[in-house]
Structure 1
Amino acid sequence: MKHYIKFEMKNTFGYSIGMIVGGLLPLFLAIGGYHASQDIEQNKILAQTIFSMCLPMIPLGLVMLPFTIAFAKDIEGGISTRFALFGYTKLKQMFAKFISILFLVSGICVIYFLVLKIVLPLPSPSMEALVLIVCGILFLTISFYFLAFTIAWFFKGFNAVQGIAMIAYFGIAIITGTIGGFEFTGVMKKVSNAIPFNSFRTELANKWTTAGFDMSDVLIRLAIFMAATILLFVITNILSIKTNGSL
């Protein structure tokens, strides 16, 4: 399995579009969105708010676009199937790809934190805030990972998957207020609340330096979203097994 993980890491780190939308874009938006004032404390609050606002864009950008499109290309080209014939089954591929994408997301998040800590007046987070960051990024990465697999396996044809992946990325970014700043009501508001970006951002920004705060509510929201994406993945695979006879 070790050589599979190394192979997937080489592929994963070659996703140039991922580095742009999941790495550079959050940094540019965070740095460009910060405007210092004469109030030192207010500047710190703004820095931690901007950090929290752009942080979920990292797993969203690194997983939803490059990973979905690259995996769909492998499926259409028969690469994934040929690997399975030589013992590198789809389950093994899933595990190796997840480890590689988790390394990538974790690395970019560390760089994001270090750069903003230097550039912005970002206070040192409490231990609880660090735990929330790690748990939030992990839950979101897993959620988008299963959603990406579902899109790549359910929709046929590379062009179709590429289009759906783009719609999913920008749709989630717009609905969650990451880009555009739109105000939604009704069904769209419920959809926005179901994707726990806002609850994660708000909790992190408001409790950045607070020790011993209760993060159970936001963790439950993140876990529910993750469970929903896994359920969608399972349902898709059940349909795939019934249709094709194998995973």
Structure 2
Amino acid sequence: MTNLFSVFDPSSSILNISFNWMSTFTGLLMIPPMYWFMPSRYQIIWNNILLTLHKEFKTLLGPTGHKGSSFVFISMFSLILFNNFMGLFPYIFTSTSHLTMTLTFALPLWLSFMIYGWINHTQHMFAHLVPQGTPAILMPFMVCIETISNIIRPGTLAVRLAANMIAGHLLLTLLGNTGPSMTYYLTLMLIIGQIALLILESAVAIIQSYVFAVLSTLYSSEVN
């Protein structure tokens, strides 16, 4: 089991510098073409995606949301999506499958929402602890449940993303390792299965980055 999970650990290094995390920064190479005078087709498609997300996040944030705050979630979506896709290439470490990365996203965001909410909208935050229409007897229990569910939010955000990234890659690795011991026909079926899993993983990469960004936006909208 240790050998199996060592695939997902940032262990390879050059001069004691962890080399696996380098894939996270390769996205910076894609930024210069954005400043060209004539946008490329890739740039037009990407702009359309970001515009759609911007409209959706603005709707989720509502009229009370701060102007420009949707761009924070769009940037986060872009970074997570890029890292999820990078992990599908051979010999590239998926940084979003590590809790170091996912918790770094989730925890500061949630903490900033909580600090902002409790300082500026204290009464509103207290009101959120008891859902509307709760009987007086159940109120203490509801406060406990709501408090716990609020505290575990950054953990669920981080673990959801990391677990989904690990699960698919682990399945691909396990199936791929059985290849050499198989017959010709079974290997052919295995290749078809691996391609299908790879397509599924591509969909998961998009969905998980979208889910992370949308849930962060919803947590933000609750504070206002």
Per the TM superposition, whether the score is higher than 0.5 is no
Structure 2 length as normaliser, TM-score?
0.39
Please give the TM-score of this superposition, normalised by the length of structure 1. Answer: 0.36
